[in-house]
Chains A and B, each alone.
Chain A
């Protein structure tokens, strides 16, 4: 009894996006990282071997994030008070790329200044040769002010600026255009809204190979199934030839998982939740791996042990089995 393996052949291909630029390309990165390029659903190597692997980004902050879970502050220790030290430690922990997430306010409680944002970004670029993404604090005015300054000060580094949303993308996209950077485009778990935002950004003249789309996800237990299915649908649409969905996907399981009570809190929780540290890391890891299987090209993580486990899972997923 011989089974003929059903192989899909798709007309569409996911575009590639390259982050970072080496000295030869006008930047200072030690190497570049390329994501995307798939012609199959995730890891269907028996149809065609994927040209690029999913990558792990580690999120670091410009100042110590006091509202983060104590588990995270503990594990990063003193590094968390210095972006440069944190960048080095994240690289040592296995990050393929870094995400520098800027804070709304500085240590003095006053709004983060563009000068401070630029200083933090430069410190990170000097400390680590990894490609970089820089996210604003998540408020339109502050995002625009800080990201424009960062974009100008890092011209040619091909960083990714985030996060563009339908209510605020023009300034960020213009800054990326003028300085040779990429952007991340976030839409709220909806295939059509994701497409729409990609179109708006592309219409401003930014080439599609400089846009990463972030379809948003929920953490395990907090809506992961919505993010999961939207990503599967976006990837299917891309392979079916819908050009405006053919972008690599970035998601932030670290951010999502670490804001859940399960990860954040260790006291006064049900006994059935078990050991706090292992639960929190499992929460982040399972969220990330589940999303990688549904099509994520970049997962942004927070805990070094999650980085180690997710990298191992990616290695496993990229191994082309001989028996198949």
Chain B
């Protein structure tokens, strides 16, 4: 738990020597509490105080990052239980699991499909994060072959799954210089696994089916010198997973309980039925997982999961907005229709994408609705006749077209009367409620 400025001050020498560049120790303590300076700037702080301060300045959920050539996946560093309290920071990594009982060719085919997958959502390119390889065969040779097969296709970060230290060692040798995640350490093998993690600089997941079991393992491994730990609570069902992940997050944040202050890994692929896999994965995204391992890759489930992850990890204080203005779609000319919408990016992109893919030219006037969707902005008084008229005027839309005719979203049909008063020389038309119906409307009614 973060210390206050006063608590930090009590640990400083209190001599006001100014060597840190601040006039007093208190001033320095305040800056330190605000994380604007490093403790190292004070040369006089004692070892004891240093230990206490650095312990206290550690985040309640440790940041664990996996690395490979050119890629990094981070988890942890979260500070809240509910996104509205601040925001969730590190989107959980989505991994696809391969088993070394599959042939190298099968593995390569599956990896190629997932590795190359990308999809555009609100102007952003979304992709999966990496692969997990499980030593289901329990032989080092098959495990190595599978890892090599993955590495021939993809350079994304890896999760290596085996409880046998000898097999794990064989796998780790192939990815030297990377930071993979090992899954994992249990009550029987933790020492050997811990040694391997240290030797290879890998992150290590601990596996136990109780919180006490997990905490026992992390304490032992921390003493052994392994810092980058991940928790695998092995909950295979929604209810248990929700309870365990919530307890882990609460203990870390509210009690500053260090033994569980690590990211969590989830295996939705362990579900009884494939249809439940995406549900478990969605749950893991919203409820506190840091790494998510799927057994199946298909675009139709990857896309919704990637979108959900974007949504849940959007900073609630900063709704994603686009710049108000007039947007040209498909090279409009003086005869092209004028459409109006708000500057909430999801709204903007739904409208823009529809019109764009229809091939129809149009002027899209994006009004400043403080980043809210049409209905929400209208209810909040941020998308009214006055604002729409102001946008039409400030962006000089009249100069761009020969027919002064503007199309309102169907959800705000009630504004058409007022807008006629605000824009007397314009014809006001009410369009469809949903963007998906716009191309048909433009073709038929304009």
Contacts and interface: CB of A to CB of B under 8 A. Distances in A.
B175 interface: no
8 contacts: A1-B219, A3-B215, A224-B308, A279-B304, A290-B312, A309-B275, A309-B279, A323-B210
B314 A225 contact: yes
Interface stretch (B51-59, B134-142, B231-239): B231-239
Interface stretch (A27-35, A108-116, A228-236): A228-236
Contact of A273 (B119, B209, B242): B119
A272 B118 contact: yes
A171 B283 CA distance: 40
Given A193-B379, A278-B300, A45 B278 contact: no
Given A5-B247, A222-B346, A282-B301, 16 more contacts: A3-B260, A221-B311, A225-B312, A229-B84, A233-B82, A233-B84, A259-B434, A270-B119, A270-B120, A272-B120, A273-B299, A275-B300, A279-B304, A285-B278, A319-B240, A321-B240
Interface string A41-58: 011111000000000000
A318 interface: yes
A309 B238 CA distance: 13
Contacts, number: 187
A45 B242 CA distance: 10
B260 to A, nearest CB: 6
B287 to A, nearest CB: 6
B82 A222 contact: no
Interface stretch (A17-25, A172-180, A261-269): A261-269
Interface of A: 1-6, 42-46, 188-190, 193, 218, 220-226, 228-229, 232-233, 236, 259-262, 264-265, 268, 270-276, 278-279, 282-283, 285-286, 289-290, 293-294, 309, 312-313, 316-321, 323-324
Contacts of A278: 298, 300-301
Interface of B: 82-84, 117-121, 209-212, 215-216, 219, 235, 237-240, 242-244, 246-247, 250-251, 254-255, 257, 259-260, 273, 275-276, 278-279, 282-283, 286-287, 298-305, 307-308, 311-312, 314, 316, 344, 346, 350, 353-354, 357, 373, 375-376, 379-380, 434-436
A316 B238 contact: yes
A225 B311 contact: yes
Nearest to A306: B275
Most buried by A among B84, B219, B276: B84
B239 A45 contact: yes
A285 B212 CA distance: 34
B238 A6 contact: no
A276 B303 CA distance: 12
Given A220-B307, A229-B316, A286-B278, A6 B376 contact: no
Contacts of B435: 261
A294 B282 CA distance: 12
A194 B350 CA distance: 27
Contacts of A324: 240, 243-244, 247
Nearest to B240: A321
A224 B247 CA distance: 25
Nearest to B435: A261
Contacts of A193: 379
A188 B374 CA distance: 11
Contacts of B276: 309, 312-313, 316
Across the A-B interface, the 7 shortest Cβ-Cβ residue pairs: A274-B299, A274-B300, A321-B240, A279-B300, A272-B119, A316-B238, A188-B379
A80 B83 CA distance: 40
Contacts of A228: 83, 286, 311-312
Contact of A272 (B299, B314, B350, B353): B299
Nearest to A1: B215
B365 to A, nearest CB: 21
Contacts of B344: 223
B299 A3 contact: no
Given A221-B307, A229-B316, A271 B299 contact: yes
Contacts of B302: 274
Contacts of B235: 321
A9 to B, nearest CB: 13
A265 B375 CA distance: 23
Contacts of A44: 243, 246
Given A3-B215, A188-B376, A289-B283, A320 B255 contact: no
